[in-house]
């Protein structure tokens, strides 16, 4: 296509967060659907500029490039998108919602003044969000504290609406902000309808980013306390934890929080949840309720999974690189 005929996409969708709301699954969907591997009745382009090396589904590197060399990165992104014929361009990285990265979001928006731009956020109940973030931080060796201490220390960080409003304040009023409630069983269809106005042609078998069970996550935490680890061998620990978890078929029905703690989190975030519902879901009640289905897993109880995992590490130690 000649430069004279090159035009910006009519619609530019930026999936900007939040963390632990199905982002990896959504990014795999965007990749496979844009390449025709998933049967859809809509066409869109998922640019290669800024796709993360070694994980070619998300635009994490796009943010890094925008921080390092914004001018050339924007030029590359514009050049790639403007040479396409699809009506929709889609960019996805949950790190756009972080305060340090919202100027990157603004740069992209300002680079496509002729496009209709929609910023998409997925949110979830604060109790499950806290649990998911806690599990991730244990897995990555970032914390070894009790979940309630973790929540109290980071409580101010668990705000969807504050961050959405912060992002809205720096963007033109023409940008459409869309917020969806993350529902694991249907969120791909929900996103498809929100972005393209239609659902998938066929039922999609969701690719799921596997999660460790609660007992195994705590076993990994105990392993980190007694073992030497660093960034180089951390993934080996995680891989072994996943393998043992799968072999043991550890139930995924456990939770990290007691029901009373869930209720407290609900009360802490009641006003925010109510306002989010009013602004984006057109309902006059909080968009979530405390989860009463998960079984609280007490760290004071005997953890057989922990014993098995530690014995396995004794027999097959992880070398410190």
User: Which domains are delineated in the chain?
Assistant: 11-124+158-196 (3.40.50)
For 52, phi then psi, to 5°, come to: -70, 125
pLDDT digits (tens, 9 = 90+) for 93-139: 999 999 999 999 999 999 999 999 999 999 999 999 999 999 999 99
Cβ–Cβ under 8 Å, residues 318 and 233: yes
Per DSSP, the residues of 188-201 read HHHHHHHHHSS--S
Distance CA 6, CA 85 (A): 9
Distance CA 83, CA 6 (A): 5
For residues 81 and 202, which has the higher predicted lDDT (pLDDT)?
81
In degrees to the nearest 10, what's the CA dihedral of 195, 196, 201, 202? -10
pLDDT digits (tens, 9 = 90+) for 35-71: 888 878 889 999 999 998 776 799 999 999 999 999 9
Q: Which helix (H) or strand (E) holds 63?
A: helix 60-68
In this predicted structure, the answer to whether residue 204 has a pLDDT above a threshold of 80 is no
In this predicted structure, the answer to whether residue 213 has a pLDDT above a threshold of 50 is yes
pTM score of the predicted model: 0.93
Cβ–Cβ under 8 Å, residues 122 and 18: yes
């Amino acid at each position: 296509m000649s430069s004279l005929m090159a035009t910006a996409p009519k619609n530019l969708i930026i999936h900007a967060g939040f963390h632990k709301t199905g982002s990896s699954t959504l990014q795999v969907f965007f990749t496979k659907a844009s390449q025709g591997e998933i049967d859809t009745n809509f066409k869109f382009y998922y640019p290669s500029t800024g796709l993360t090396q070694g994980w070619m589904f998300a635009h994490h590197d796009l943010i890094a490039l925008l921080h390092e060399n914004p001018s050339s990165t924007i030029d590359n992104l514009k050049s790639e998108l403007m040479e396409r014929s699809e009506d929709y361009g889609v960019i996805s990285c949950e790190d756009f919602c972080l305060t340090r990265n919202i100027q990157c979001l603004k740069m992209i928006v300002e680079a496509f003044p002729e496009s209709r731009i929609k910023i998409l956020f997925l949110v979830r109940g604060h109790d499950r969000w806290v649990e998911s973030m806690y599990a991730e931080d244990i897995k990555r060796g970032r914390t070894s504290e009790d979940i309630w201490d973790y929540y109290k220390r980071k409580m101010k960080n668990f705000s969807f609406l504050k961050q959405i409003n912060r992002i809205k304040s720096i963007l033109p009023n023409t940008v459409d902000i869309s917020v969806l409630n993350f529902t694991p069983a249907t969120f791909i269809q929900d996103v498809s309808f929100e972005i393209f106005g239609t659902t998938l042609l066929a039922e999609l078998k969701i690719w799921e980013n596997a999660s460790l069970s609660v007992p195994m996550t705590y076993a990994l935490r105990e392993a980190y306390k007694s073992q030497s680890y660093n960034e180089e061998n951390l993934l080996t620990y995680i891989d072994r934890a996943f393998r043992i978890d799968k072999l043991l078929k550890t139930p995924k029905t456990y939770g990290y929080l007691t029901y009373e703690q869930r209720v407290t989190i609900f009360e802490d975030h009641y006003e925010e949840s109510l306002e989010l519902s009013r602004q984006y879901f057109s309902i006059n009640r909080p968009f979530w309720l405390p989860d009463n289905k998960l079984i609280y897993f007490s760290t004071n109880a005997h953890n057989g999974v922990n014993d098995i995992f530690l014995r396995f590490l004794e027999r097959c130690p992880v070398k410190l690189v």
